Structure 1
């Protein structure tokens, strides 16, 4: 039956009208995954001699075990943000003589094939082999340790399944758990209680008593059964119908009427952002990434890589442009055919998007001005990057949006949700991120950072002056691809 399910999914993938673009995106993601998996394997091969050199009086596996708790926490955080739940069209299956238990087992076991489940094994398996060859422990002992580690990997996998199902669309529910984690970190920092040492000593005990491997196995089986029971209760055709009343935000943003004929579109965009889960998560992500510079500006190691400051400047002032703009016009995919069927100016529609992006860039730039504390040169770079985003970034995003025809469900969670992603979303990053960095670096190499920033700003100013010329090209492109876009949105329903 599992083979039959895989065959059905393969046919659905290869017969899709977006097969070419979907395949290109998957190949691109595969290359990224291979790169990080290779890095994990490199760490697994080299970590034993590194630990041996840094801690010569301690056994490397004891040091390794002390970091298991930290790894498990980061594993859950990264998985929650980036790992998506398995997707399968189950409605046709439920109307046939197919046991629901088989469908559920397939959905759960399918998550085991996710690349996230390979990162940790590529580290601890080579590490364990090195311990065996060094005669530190017997093969049986390390084998049981491997089983325990694999159990923790799958425990993280199935725990993430529950977290996404329960809190993926309600991040506020995670607050008590986040507070608990902060308390444990506090206890760890002040050496009141060390959860890392407790977990580490538990795995050390397993090395002396291998039969204790049954504990992580039972935990993993338990979380699997918990997932199975949860899905069993909701795997029905009518499970999505809910008999509850939702509170509606009726704000009309009347102050936007001063923008004239594009005011209606701006009101629609702001209502969309404020009322829907996916778009609201983009908004809050943009706010969070304002503090992105705090990771790099205080770090002296980046003084030898000034071009990286351009990346931070572009990203800090243009994070909303990138995150929200890459899905234009897919945000309106639910009613895009209706918009195109009305007597509505496509130019006004696109101008409203441009004004929204101009406003976001200016606001983010103003909020980022305190970064001048780290140096006047950073303020100058951020200013030039903001101007570049206004003049070049905005028309680039709008133009490439004409090739976006993947529908977006606004009510699905934002974190780990890759619905609507395509090769267009990756291409958008080229003119916004790579080109200004390359241009700035070339000018900086021959002159200095001031002239390089001036050149970037002048390019942005020139782009803004030519905005009407660019908009004419963009409007023509949207008109020529109107029916392709509409059909794409309908297909992905």
Structure 2
């Protein structure tokens, strides 16, 4: 039955118009996967030599084991931001004589061959061959590898469970994020040496291979947790979906998989691409990414932390600030028509939220090379990135209802003050200064990294509670939508 369901999914992908229209995009994605896969494969075969040259007095295997806990925590973070939930259209199968358990198992197993689960194989297997096998028996090396793969899959199913719980029980996900953050704080305060713990835990697998039962049991437990949750939520009454509005726009095919919100994002991207003013703002945002060359080369900025927090918020969030300061003015010319459509305010803001999360994530990735100038730049920019997607994006939504001036999208941004008002300045103050104020008391107490952690934690809490905050933004918009419509008609 699992093979039958897999064949149905494969045929649906091949026969869909999305697959044919997105063939070029799929080829580009495949080339990127091959490139990064080759990089990780190269590192897997040569990381033992790199570690031996950098730390000649220590064993490369012990050093590698000492970094594994950090790796799995970073893996959890990127899964939380990027990993999608595996889905299956269950309704067509519920009336057939197919055990519901098989449908649930298929949905869970569908997540196993993902990029996040396959990528570790490209450097774990070569490292085992080049470094672990020469020092230990073959059986011990295989047990060590299987334990790491079990923990990788444990991360996979753990994140899937918490992502499914985000909408119904966001406090569960919040507690999980707080626990991970607490580990980082304990590491910073030297109350818990994660490197030593990691080296002891994974080194014990090489000394006592029977300990593999621990990660296997953890994997089985989290798999069972997901299984029970999905089985309870596959009844027809649980699957009933409220009738949603239809939004036109199907040219950017890969966005169709995200439903109505994806189509709204597609329309927003078309608006940017087809009009001069939003396009010029995008170009300006790209230029702002190079401002780090001016700030980070100054010794005065690099010695402190508050200035770097300001720069981190500025650089990772500038695309969102530039475009978000005129929301919903971009739709001012057809705002009345927008109100007549069956598009809920929640959908409207959710589409902008995920578009902002995407561009801020891209800006954050593009600023990572600045980390070569100092490791703390990466830490601060990561906290700034979380703050932007968890707090500042909702600050932008709060001030959006005061943007009552109509915009002419065919005029450029240079020396164009149309639509600019005092609320834009008011919006910039909390978005840029609030994280600095959060950091300030920690800086005065001489614990700067706790201040950075507080900024990141606040952003993580906001991102976890995104559904509730988006609902609040939608209600705030409903209170002001008629005032906005009347203002846009007058200009």
Partner residue in 1 for 2:97? 97
Partner residue in 2 for 1:156? 155
Mapping of residues 308-323 of structure 1, within 5 Å: none
For 1:131 and 1:299, the matched residues in 2 are separated by 28
For 1:33 and 1:175, the matched residues in 2 are separated by 32
Mapping of residues 411-422 of structure 1, within 5 Å: none
Structure 1: 5+ residue runs without aligned partners? 244-254, 302-318, 324-349, 372-411, 414-493
For 2:67 and 2:140, the matched residues in 1 are separated by 19
Partner residue in 1 for 2:336? 264
For 1:6 and 1:351, the matched residues in 2 are separated by 49
Structure 1 residue 222: deviation in Å? 0.9
Q: Would you say 1:84 and 2:84 are equivalent positions? A: yes
For 1:100 and 1:151, the matched residues in 2 are separated by 26
Partner residue in 1 for 2:35? 35
User: 1:18 aligns to what SS in structure 2?
Assistant: helix
Partner residue in 2 for 1:249? none
Mapping of residues 414-453 of structure 1, within 5 Å: none
Change (3 A) 1:367 1:107: same
For 2:332 and 2:350, the matched residues in 1 are separated by 29
User: 1:107 aligns to what SS in structure 2?
Assistant: helix
Q: 1:282 aligns with which of 352, 355, 362?
A: 355
Change (3 A) 1:71 1:354: farther
Q: CA RMSD in A?
A: 4.3
Is the CA contact 1:263–1:352 (under 8 Å) kept in the aligned structure 2?
A: no
Partner residue in 2 for 1:146? 145
Q: Would you say 1:223 and 2:213 are equivalent positions? A: no
For 1:233 and 1:25, the matched residues in 2 are separated by 37
Partner residue in 2 for 1:128? 128
Structure 1 residue 192: deviation in Å? 1.2
Partner residue in 2 for 1:72? 72
For 1:195 and 1:209, the matched residues in 2 are separated by 21
Further displaced range: 141-150 or 171-180 = 171-180
For 1:157 and 1:65, the matched residues in 2 are separated by 20
User: 2:17 aligns to what SS in structure 1?
Assistant: coil
Change (3 A) 1:79 1:234: same
Partner residue in 2 for 1:166? 165
Structure 1 residue 31: deviation in Å? 1.9
Partner residue in 2 for 1:191? 190
For 2:161 and 2:109, the matched residues in 1 are separated by 14
Cα displacement string for residues 396-444 of structure 1 (whole angstroms, at most 9, x for unaligned residues)? xxxxxxxxxxxxxxxx98xxxxxxxxxxxxxxxxxxxxxxxxxxxxxxx
Partner residue in 2 for 1:213? 212
Change (3 A) 1:109 1:242: closer
Instruction: Name the larger-Rg structure.
Output: 1
Q: Would you say 1:9 and 2:9 are equivalent positions? A: yes
Is the CA contact 1:169–1:277 (under 8 Å) kept in the aligned structure 2?
A: no
For 1:272 and 1:352, the matched residues in 2 are separated by 23
For 2:6 and 2:39, the matched residues in 1 are separated by 30
For 1:77 and 1:113, the matched residues in 2 are separated by 19
Change (3 A) 1:260 1:191: closer
For 2:47 and 2:360, the matched residues in 1 are separated by 37
Is the CA contact 2:125–2:145 (under 8 Å) kept in the aligned structure 1?
A: yes
Change (3 A) 1:17 1:256: closer
Cα displacement string for residues 435-472 of structure 1 (whole angstroms, at most 9, x for unaligned residues)? xxxxxxxxxxxxxxxxxxxxxxxxxxxxxxxxxxxxxx
Partner residue in 2 for 1:62? 62
For 1:159 and 1:21, the matched residues in 2 are separated by 34
Is the CA contact 2:332–2:407 (under 8 Å) kept in the aligned structure 1?
A: no
Structure 1 residue 67: deviation in Å? 1.0
Structure 1 residue 105: deviation in Å? 1.1
Cα displacement string for residues 96-150 of structure 1 (whole angstroms, at most 9, x for unaligned residues)? 11111111111111111112211112111111111255x3111111111011111
Mapping of residues 387-426 of structure 1, within 5 Å: none
Partner residue in 1 for 2:199? 200
For 1:63 and 1:260, the matched residues in 2 are separated by 58
Is the CA contact 1:273–1:280 (under 8 Å) kept in the aligned structure 2?
A: no
Is the CA contact 1:266–1:353 (under 8 Å) kept in the aligned structure 2?
A: no
Structure 1 residue 154: deviation in Å? 0.8
Structure 1 residue 163: deviation in Å? 2.0
For 1:213 and 1:359, the matched residues in 2 are separated by 65
Structure 1 residue 72: deviation in Å? 0.7
Structure 1 residue 295: deviation in Å? 5.2
Change (3 A) 1:25 1:261: closer
Structure 1 residue 267: deviation in Å? 6.7
